[in-house]
Structure 1
Amino acid sequence: MARTSPIGTVTRGTTNPNRLRRCDRWLAGPQAWRLRSAESSPIAVDLGYGASPVTAVELHARLAAVRPDVRVVGIEIEPSRVELGRPLERPGLRFRLGGFEVPLDGESATVVRAFNVLRQYSEEEVPAAWARLCSRLAPDGLLVDGTCDEIGRLASWVALDRTGPLSLTCSWHLRGLARPGVVAERLPKSLIHRNVPGERVHDWLCAVDMEWARQAPLASYGARQRFVAVARGLRDAGWPVLDGPARWRLGELTVAWSAVAPTGSA
């Protein structure tokens, strides 16, 4: 018999307005081409949005700025949370019951954003969840598996397409930042237990901290100037840092997946 119930387990549901703004501005920035290149109105999924539908509402507003006909679908496994979203539905925004199967009535998604969802699963369960979610993507689609703190000042996410993981992005609120390595506590599930000597992500975070310390003399010019210098220093040292100063000034660093992938993986 075909399975009809949603696939997955209910999340804790913690959410706050603007909690996912760092990821949203990345989707509406370097990744906006995926939305713009879609032939028909693209679909963006906010998977496991939690106890409040606010992040789906915000996602629609931000992505509509680059693709006005985008359709955002908030998907939740908990029926009561879906019902909370229904009164907020409007053209381009809807809510429905579902899980990792991503029910879209036969259509594919250009973006699936799953934030603070897989963190409650074991590391061993992540590859299967990634594979299932990526199977729901359009040819140029993107899966974002991320984690952030309660108010969205510290975040990281893995980006994947249908071929597998592409990159890791870390994003910091720069004012008052003591050291970038604090993002270790908000790494996605696939990496959070790998921040130990001998693992690539550990080497990466150590390198970021060391470069941050090395650029301390620039602190008098402001945290942004210091952080841009950190990004340039890391790239000069051979790290595959992506994007450029416009993103770095936001406190955002994206590195190719090959530089942080768990030992023993591609």
Structure 2
Amino acid sequence: MALSCGGKCMKVFLVVINFLFMLLGLGILIPGILMLADVKLVNDEVLPLLQQLGFGGLNVGDLAKGLSVTLIIFGTFVLIVSLFGCCGAFCQQRICLVVYAALVLVFFLAKLIVVILWFVMNDKIQTWMKDQLISQLQNNYKNNDLTTHEISTAWNYMFMSLSCCGVNAVTGTTNDFDNSVWIGSAGTKNIPTFCCTGVTASNYATYSDASCTDNVVSNYYKKGCYDATYDLLSTYSTVFIAVGICILLVELVAFIGAIVIIKQGGEDGKSLSGAAKMV
């Protein structure tokens, strides 16, 4: 049985939709690659600190690395499924269309759940993240150098790479470091050297600026590391959410289009309503 006019339109529409779907798959793949390559957040120096931020049996460091790899794999898989859908629609291959429709339905439901959970849990995640960072700073920040203590070194690299200081924004001599282990051995310093602008891994040992470290009136990073980290993550999350919502809409239309073509006929001209029931 040949496709009706509506079926032919859905066939063309499904091919176009899957082409867009491939582009959206790239929208997942590319941010995943960029996130993996972003040395500001996930690198060997800062990673020990992120691995101390636990959530249940998981930690932020492993999640950050795992998420980027997962996005790369998922984006690649989306591209393959999209090609599968294009071939099934264009050639009217019933098996291809049935499998494609089933996969699209599963993806649609999975992404819908993820998007809903993100919006529901976002405030709780922010509160948890700030509490974890403050706890780590106060209990595990001990040294103003890059050699003697792994967690302190991670903090110091974070200060330099994200141009931030403390967890909350530093506004003067009273700040998050007041209750840290480090403050007992800080001498006249109120914030570490690594919170000062212009400090690098090569000059920190000889750097001296009392207006920054002691008086905290100039030449220091005024943004807190919580805001700096959240802003960096938000750069990616905004892209992920926007792409995710677009993909949900595309998947819904693609699923409907595949079912229409399956019901109207396949390569041998028989009705595919029985096959459609499989999905």
The interval holding the TM-score normalised by the smaller chain is: under 0.3
Q: Which has the higher contact order (CA 8 A, sep 6+)?
A: 2
- TM-score, structure 1 length as denominator? 0.26
Greater percentage in helix: 2
Q: Which has the larger radius of gyration?
A: 2
Greater percentage in strand: 1
